[in-house]
Amino acid sequence: MAEVLFYQKITPVNKEEHKSHFLKPYDNDYSFARNTPIVPLAASEFFSACRHYPVLFSGDTASLVPVAILGYTEKQNIFINDANQWQKNTYIPAFIRRYPFILANSNDASQLTLCFDDSWKGFNTEGEGEPLFNEQGEEAEYLKKVLGFVESVHQEMQRTRPFVEKLVELELLEKRDLQVTRTEGNSFLLKDFRVINEEAFMKLEDAQVLEFHNKGWLPWVYAHLLSLSNLQTLGQ
């Protein structure tokens, strides 16, 4: 399986191989993401994310996804401090919170399988932390909760796709290089991202706007546009 951002060794959860595995929680340890400047977002996260991050669209036309901008240079996340803690009172994207677990395609790509990053330091067989399986070899309650959360993240990502596809169809996304000015006065460009063209959106026909309203997409548009003001504070 291909690596996904900070996931290093994606391994399917298997009750035979991992019946003795435990996961020791490392509260507020986000060292795995400290070199990650962007992460995907589900549109349902826009409301929370827009208070702290620029929410942009990344990728080519066929694979555009909403993303939260966490840094203005490569391999940088400015929301993680030297102690690997996330900035207080700041929304943490679900893509980050689900780590070290993820849903990934099985080897024959026929279904999605719960996997984990086997390189994460919290996994052990010494009984430290939460067991993945109980003594009967069944999924432990902890693993059931993990699966429920990871599945919900996947579902919200899937629910975002029609929204992005409609933006592309109506040619509402424009590629733009965005400037971030640091406190010291120097500037950086965020290149090859896309944003919703507000002027073009305001010119939509009534029936098109009604479609956005009926599908619950209209607030997502405004949350995205509101988030662009965070470009001014990202460098600070």
pLDDT in tens, 23-50: 998 889 999 999 999 999 999 999 999 9
Question: What is the domain range of residue 192?
Answer: 10-234
Closest CA to 96 of 68, 130, 64, 66: 68
Predicted local confidence at residue 110, as pLDDT: 67
Q: Cα-Cα-Cα-Cα dihedral of 158, 69, 12, 21, to 10°?
A: -130
| DSSP reduced 3-state for 153 | helix
**Does residue 2 lie within any of the structural domains?**
no
Counting the structural domains of the chain, the total is 1
8-state DSSP, 182: -
Segment 101-133, tens digit of pLDDT:
999 876 665 689 999 999 999 999 999 999 999
Give the torsion sign (CA, 219, 220, 226, 230): positive
The verdict on residue 140 lying in a domain is yes
Beta-strand ranges (E) seen in 80-172 are 101-105, 112-117, 123-124, 130-131
Asked if residue 210 has pLDDT above 90, the reply is yes
Q: Average pLDDT over the chain, rounded to whole? A: 91
Is 126 within the bounds of a domain? Answer: yes
Neighbour count for residue 217 (Cβ, 10 Å): 18
What is the pTM (predicted TM-score) of this model?
Answer: 0.90
pLDDT score at 2: 35
Residue 70 lies in a domain: yes
Domain membership of residue 4 (yes or no) is: no
